[in-house]
Amino acid sequence: MNRYIPKILTDIAKELHRNGANAVLVGGAVRDFVLQKDVKDFDIEVYNIESYDKLAAILSKFGAVNLVGKSFGVVKLRVGDNEYDFSMPRLENKTGKGHKGFDIKVNPKLKFEEAAKRRDFTMNAMGWDILQNRLLDPFKGVDDIKNKKLQIVDKKTFTEDPLRVYRALQFAARFELDVTEETRKLCCHLVDSGALEELPKERVWEEFKKLLLKADKPSIGLKLMREFGILKYFPQLKALIGVEQDPVWHPEGDVWTHTLMVVDEAAKLRSGNEFEDLILMLAALCHDFGKPLTTKIIDGRVRAFNHDTKGVKPALDFLTLLTDHKELKREVAKLVEFHLRPLQLFKGNAKKSAVRRLSLKVNIKRLVKLAQADYFGRGGTDKNRFEAGEWLFKMAQDLNCLEKPPKKLLQGRDLIELGLKPSPLFGEILKQVYEAQIEGKIATKEDAIKLAKKLYIY
């Protein structure tokens, strides 16, 4: 483990030791090391330190310290572009609702096992003694990881923070773990008791993002949401359960089952850009929200006409339960509205102008990804190519409208150079010339200027 730890932290651990203190690496870094994943975030718990001020003074020798976490016994240390959290061991007792309703007592004399007892799951309750180069594992987190189990540390401390139910979802999905019976019962109890209602959506959103961005199979977490009873807080998701689909196109079953498959397919297409990936994953989750509103049996077949456009409002309602990010919600809604378009244009052998018009409404590159996930996220799809997506991607790329509409050939400054003075007429001229450009009637700036002259000037 020590070979993964930045040298600066080893140097700090030695300095702390000279002052009678002991530095223990805790949290995700130790867990990820045991899981044989990349070790990135380094949080250090400092034992037997004289005081918070003493800890801050020692750390100040190595970089810039931030004391905003004093009430929690936390010192943030910035060294170059890196920031590390140093904390003193503490106990937390629930005294009220919300994540601020805790009585926190910092006690540097605590033993590691006692401090680790407040952690949520055994895999997160391990530590690494930096100088002694040894693992501290009082709750057998290594065994649970090897056995692919997600197990709570302590029943009392676990139930004090209902956010841990959402953490169970994302951890189970990210590391493909089986949730133990005891953990399942506690999560269901917290949901049934209404404890999740005290959670601000900002905290829920952070766990939701981890589920969508870090899990290869987010469906694992979504299935647990259903099992734990969390879907009562997300009616748009719950409404998908049991909604029939045409078995010719969807042999996998109802809309809920299809959605889980689409989300897992979308996860394969993530790029590593958080904003782009969130748009894709949320669109995959929301893309068929219109089906519960539109599904009917017509002439013996299951139909859901206009479910794409009817799905926009429930998608926005769902997203509002999680975040106030306007641009994110707007871009997801666009993908929901147009998610059927790639197949429709391909089957209709659409003209170039139709592709250009589509680019005025939605980012085609994003749309192709969603449509691909939708295509492969169903049973009975034995093809390894999504021809409609490949066709649309290539067409939009050739037309320079893959990620944004075609750049306007004619600008206002061009009209000024032609001798026109700025006026309301400008907008009408530019609109008609751009319309001709979208239709493919003009292709160069010279063509645009000629058309402007023909229409309005000479």
What confidence tens digit (pLDDT) does each residue in 77-132 have?
A: 999 999 999 999 988 766 556 555 556 788 989 999 999 999 999 999 999 999 99
Segment 312-341 mean pLDDT:
98
424 has a pLDDT exceeding 70? yes
Query: Which residue would you say has higher pLDDT here, 289 or 384?
Result: 289
Structural domains of the chain in order of their starting residue, each with its CATH number: 2-140 (3.30.460.10), 162-233 (1.10.110.30), 236-407 (1.10.3210), 412-457 (no CATH)
**For position 100, what pLDDT does the model report?**
57
Segment 186-192 mean pLDDT:
98
pTM listed for this prediction: 0.94
**For position 231, what pLDDT does the model report?**
98
Segment 376-399 mean pLDDT:
90
**For position 91, what pLDDT does the model report?**
82
Bridge partners, residue 84, by sequence: 77
Among the ranges given (96-110, 390-404, 415-429), the one the predictor scored with the smallest mean pLDDT: 96-110
Percent of the chain with pLDDT over 90: 88
Among the ranges given (23-37, 377-391, 427-441), the one the predictor scored with the smallest mean pLDDT: 377-391
363 has a pLDDT exceeding 60? yes
Segment 226-230 mean pLDDT:
98
What confidence tens digit (pLDDT) does each residue in 255-308 have?
A: 999 999 999 999 999 999 999 999 999 999 999 999 999 999 999 999 999 999
**For position 292, what pLDDT does the model report?**
98
Query: Which residue would you say has higher pLDDT here, 311 or 384?
Result: 311
Query: Which residue would you say has higher pLDDT here, 360 or 2?
Result: 360
**For position 102, what pLDDT does the model report?**
55
Kindly indicate the confidence band of residue 457, based on its pLDDT and cuts at 50, 70 and 90.
Answer: low
Angstrom distance (rounded) from CA 323 to CA 329: 8
Kindly indicate the confidence band of residue 318, based on its pLDDT and cuts at 50, 70 and 90.
Answer: very high
What confidence tens digit (pLDDT) does each residue in 326-336 have?
A: 999 999 999 99
139 has a pLDDT exceeding 90? yes
Q: What is the mean pLDDT of the chain?
A: 94
